[in-house]
Chain A
Amino acid sequence: DAGITQSPRHKVTETGTPVTLRCHQTENHRYMYWYRQDPGHGLRLIHYSYGVKDTDKGEVSDGYSVSRSKTEDFLLTLESATSSQTSVYFCANGAPTEQYFGPGTRLTVT
């Protein structure tokens, strides 16, 4: 059990609005990740963190920002949501080669 929760689990928002997704872990894993999953694509890394206030961009970071002010929380923000950001978002923790995932957030941007 990765001890990861994500909130909200489902969200519908309008184009142009800011959205923040939260990932919370009960362990003290150093590494945390945000992915998006779309049909026909593998999971794609958005941003990752290797410690408090230490974050870096992943493969598809445009339009997203993250923050990690505490070990247990990793926030993903869509500054101005677009329809192309409709997706399922997964948070994960653990070593890069052994990741554990939260239950996901289904985001729909209308």
Chain B
Amino acid sequence: RKEVEQDPGPFNVPEGATVAFNCTYSNSASQSFFWYRQDCRKEPKLLMSVYSSGNEDGRFTAQLNRASQYISLLIRDSKLSDSATYLCVVNPPWSNYQLIWGAGTKLIIKP
């Protein structure tokens, strides 16, 4: 089992719709969680951290479910510019320096 797993997609979503995707992690002792965004052939960029109480930033909401060991990302009122690959990232308990990266979920917003 991979340490961080994501549905690769693609998720094809009409503009204006709400879309959500999850990411599961295997180590229950993991403490820090993040979503990064990566545009095609570009570098990853930090989208948001995921806190135990959840985190909202404009149209984006991230949630953590420790009992089921997954994090989620919800995008409301999706824009064409939201088309990207969304990377789930976990900081494992056995390292302060290393992050475990999911392979990403590809999102395509259609007009």
Interface, chain A (partner B; CB < 8 A): 31, 40-45, 48, 50, 56, 58-59, 90, 96-104
| Number of residues from B at the complex interface, CB < 8 A | 21
List B65-111 residues whose CB lies under 8 Å from chain A: 87, 91, 96-104
Chain B residue with minimal CB distance to A44?
Answer: B101
Chain A residue with minimal CB distance to B88?
Answer: A42
Report B1-23 CB contacts with A as 1/0, cut-off 8 Å: 00010001000000000000000
Q: Are B44 and A101 in contact (CB-based, < 8 A)?
A: yes
Q: Are A96 and B46 in contact (CB-based, < 8 A)?
A: no
Q: Are B4 and A42 in contact (CB-based, < 8 A)?
A: yes
Q: Are A96 and B99 in contact (CB-based, < 8 A)?
A: yes
Q: Are A42 and B104 in contact (CB-based, < 8 A)?
A: yes
Chain B residue with minimal CB distance to A56?
Answer: B97
Q: Are A103 and B42 in contact (CB-based, < 8 A)?
A: yes
Shortest CB-to-CB span from B22 to chain A, Å, is: 15
> Does B61 sit within 8 A of A, measured CB to CB?
no
> Does B26 sit within 8 A of A, measured CB to CB?
no
Which of A40, A100, A104 meets B103, CB within 8 Å?
A40
Q: Are A42 and B87 in contact (CB-based, < 8 A)?
A: yes
